[in-house]
Structure 1
Amino acid sequence: MTKAKVAILISGRGSNMMALLYASRLPDSPYEVVLVASNDPDAPGLALAAAEGVSTFGHSHKGLDRASFDAIMDDQLRAAQAEYVALAGYMRILSAGFVARWEGRMLNIHPSLLPRYKGLDTHARAIAAGDSHGGCSVHLVTAELDDGPVLGQIPVTITPGETADSLATRIMFAEHQLYPKVLAEFVGRERNPDWLLGKVRELALALPDAEEKASHGSPGFFVTGGKFFAYFTANHHQDGTIGLLVKASGAEEQAMLIDRDPDLYYRPAYLGPFNWIGIRLDQGNNDWEHLAEWLSKSWRLSAPKRLTKMLDIADEF
């Protein structure tokens, strides 16, 4: 299994970073840590990561505006070929441009049961409010602080006489359990056949008069009154591949695509001689806009002329 490449950003000792790193060493982990970076070159977590053989990068943010510093970090993430970013005690407010570049692929852990107590002093605020529980949340990062969709939470009981420090200590144990689990589930979904089929289904059935029906033992998508324009395959011919099959314009395009990018495109069994092309979905970094374009193109090659003419007219406007 190809593992997802994760970079972790820290500012201090990196306890959550180490929880993520050690979890990545388990045999069934769907991710590997390719970089640990910090806005503090002396952050203790960098030395710990380096001792474990992980590439590290440290650069002070002092004297740099937010966008310039984030550009430096972004360059390092991309040089490490990171596919996902995990914030683990990274004490920097991110620029909108940086967040946009990693939209949907950057996670954070926060020490409260979001949406309660965004920002700082979460434990003291929960105790002062008389809450029965504090806790932690893992969420997707958006431009607004601590406001992205919550992916997972663990509640932690607030006991009589609880202090902010004692609650923080116990919540940290919960964080170390929650973050690796949620990260693994999140990055693993793009290698999960059920999740991938759901994404393909959503895109395919959004096309005009598209319907779904099993064909050749796989989920297939066809145009009402027309032909099949896509199939979803998951190890269908014991080839170990999860893929989307769509129509190419001809044998020349099929051969060109495979020659240009053999890691992405392949000639599918049975349908290959009929100018279909396979696009791999199981490598964990799918370009869904590109896949939507392929589905639309294949739909046009399969749909009755009455539908394509209507779309051509609509496109003119």
Structure 2
Amino acid sequence: MIPNRAKVAVLISGRGSNMAALLYAAKAENCPFEIILVASNNPEAPGLTLAEAEGIATFAHPHKGMNRAEHDQIMHDAIKLAGAEYIALAGYMRILSDDFVNRWQDHMLNIHPSLLPKYKGLDTYQRALDAGDSHAGCSVHLVTATLDDGPILGQTKVAVQSDDTADILADRVLIAEHQLYPATLAKYVTRKADPDWILDQLRTRVLALEETHERESFGTPGWRVGSEKSAKYFAYFSYRHLGDTGTSVFVKTSGLDEQAALLDADPGLYFAPKFYGKSGWIAIRMDTGRTDWDHISDWLRKSWRMVAPKRLTKMMDIAEEF
């Protein structure tokens, strides 16, 4: 069983077939998420009975007679009380308030029965048939304030056959949904330990620093500051690079004394890189899934300042005085 699995709350309004797909996928020993709550705006939702039978905590509160914000607050409180880190919408037939969506930004997913951006909203199967599409399908996307409009995380195409009706096509798309949703959710909750995702996050922060450019060094991305001729390296990305394990960023310290102090203070976060360690560089681990990106940004700027041209640091010093 994977330790520290991502905790997911699933919101449903009816039978919860996609909830069931997620629930049973989570029973696998190598699944990186667990379902800790199934919640609904419909106390009679059949999916709640299934979740209870499988030993999953449930919560329900009807929305009738309540404004959207009040009901969303009740749902939010129940989800937080359960300890959920992510929300998976699985046939939750409520438009969520902007405030609720913002609270769960980048931590709430939805599955939709079309190949988005085609056919947002309802009646997606009939609309695909009426348009003469060769394929229908399903999409998993992040939830934003605009209906069915968030970044797409995964899609599955389903061929349209000549004798399809909307109901027949819906049954086949549903099979695809049950395959796509657990796989996409698993990939998303583990993204913070994925080297490509980490590199994208790191690159964005590094290249935001003044006069910084990227140049490969010994087969790995490195970043320099200054003119092309006189630029100096201040950071490197490492994914099992030159004998080092895991994924990390190398940055400069003031010297071996500071490096030793960091290693003593937090050996779980820092280590001395094999190739650069003798020069006082320090490696910061970024593959735990719990990276403090503010901490990484602070180190990048500190390392940048150690080698940046005086004309850049002087202006920064003056600005910081004010």
TM-score over 0.5 (shorter chain):
yes
Match of 2:289 among 280, 284, 287: 284
CA contact (8 A) 1:246 1:276 kept: yes
Amino acid at match of 1:305: K
Please list, as runs of the form range in 1=range in 2, the aligned pairs for 1:33-52 lying within 5 A after superposition. 33-52=35-54
- Partner-residue secondary structure (3-state), 2:146: coil
Q: Deviations over 1:194-249 (max 9, x none)?
A: 32123212321231233445679865434345755434344569886533454678
The reply on whether 1:95 has 2:97 as its aligned counterpart is: yes
- Provide the C-alpha distance between the structure 1 equivalents of 2:234 and 2:110, rounded to a whole number of angstroms: 39
Shift in Å at residue 171 of structure 1? Answer: 1.0
- Provide the C-alpha distance between the structure 2 equivalents of 1:258 and 1:55, rounded to a whole number of angstroms: 43
The reply on whether 1:105 has 2:107 as its aligned counterpart is: yes
The reply on whether 1:76 has 2:78 as its aligned counterpart is: yes
- Partner-residue secondary structure (3-state), 1:109: strand
Q: What percent of counterpart residues are identical? A: 58
Structure 2 partner of 1:266: 269
- Provide the C-alpha distance between the structure 2 equivalents of 1:179 and 1:145, rounded to a whole number of angstroms: 18
Structure 1 partner of 2:191: 189
- Partner-residue secondary structure (3-state), 2:117: coil
Name the TM-score, length of structure 1 as normaliser.
0.81
CA contact (8 A) 1:242 1:280 kept: yes
Shift in Å at residue 42 of structure 1? Answer: 3.1
- Provide the C-alpha distance between the structure 2 equivalents of 1:246 and 1:182, rounded to a whole number of angstroms: 33
Q: Which ranges in structure 1 are unaligned for 5 or more consecutive residues?
A: none
Q: Which moved more, 1:80-89 or 1:231-240?
A: 231-240
Match of 1:310 among 290, 309, 315: 315
Give the aligned length.
Answer: 314
- Provide the C-alpha distance between the structure 1 equivalents of 2:132 and 2:125, rounded to a whole number of angstroms: 11
Q: Which ranges in structure 2 are unaligned for 5 or more consecutive residues?
A: none
Computed over aligned residues only, the root mean square deviation of the Cα atoms, in angstroms, reads 3.5
| Closer/same/farther in 2, CA of residues 211 and 127 from structure 1, 3 Å limit | closer
- Partner-residue secondary structure (3-state), 2:305: helix
Name the TM-score, length of structure 2 as normaliser.
0.80
- Provide the C-alpha distance between the structure 2 equivalents of 1:234 and 1:178, rounded to a whole number of angstroms: 29
Match of 2:30 among 28, 31, 52: 28
- Provide the C-alpha distance between the structure 1 equivalents of 2:250 and 2:127, rounded to a whole number of angstroms: 53
Q: Deviations over 1:241-277 (max 9, x none)?
A: 5334546789799979997xx69x6232368899876
| Closer/same/farther in 2, CA of residues 258 and 148 from structure 1, 3 Å limit | farther
Q: Which moved more, 1:306-315 or 1:172-181?
A: 306-315
- Provide the C-alpha distance between the structure 2 equivalents of 1:208 and 1:155, rounded to a whole number of angstroms: 44
Please list, as runs of the form range in 1=range in 2, the aligned pairs for 1:50-65 lying within 5 A after superposition. 50-65=52-67
| Closer/same/farther in 2, CA of residues 202 and 46 from structure 1, 3 Å limit | same
| Closer/same/farther in 2, CA of residues 137 and 256 from structure 1, 3 Å limit | same
- Partner-residue secondary structure (3-state), 2:173: helix
Relative contact order higher in (CA < 8 Å, ≥ 6 apart): 1
Q: Deviations over 1:99-158 (max 9, x none)?
A: 112222221111112222111111222223333332211112111111112222222233
Structure 2 partner of 1:163: 165
| Closer/same/farther in 2, CA of residues 237 and 51 from structure 1, 3 Å limit | farther
| Closer/same/farther in 2, CA of residues 87 and 200 from structure 1, 3 Å limit | same
- Provide the C-alpha distance between the structure 1 equivalents of 2:95 and 2:291, rounded to a whole number of angstroms: 28
- Provide the C-alpha distance between the structure 1 equivalents of 2:242 and 2:30, rounded to a whole number of angstroms: 24
- Provide the C-alpha distance between the structure 1 equivalents of 2:280 and 2:47, rounded to a whole number of angstroms: 52
Shift in Å at residue 287 of structure 1? Answer: 5.0
Shift in Å at residue 310 of structure 1? Answer: 2.6
- Partner-residue secondary structure (3-state), 2:190: helix
Shift in Å at residue 309 of structure 1? Answer: 1.8
- Provide the C-alpha distance between the structure 2 equivalents of 1:218 and 1:159, rounded to a whole number of angstroms: 48
CA contact (8 A) 1:86 1:108 kept: yes
- Provide the C-alpha distance between the structure 2 equivalents of 1:78 and 1:294, rounded to a whole number of angstroms: 32
Match of 2:237 among 228, 232, 241: 232
CA contact (8 A) 1:83 1:285 kept: no
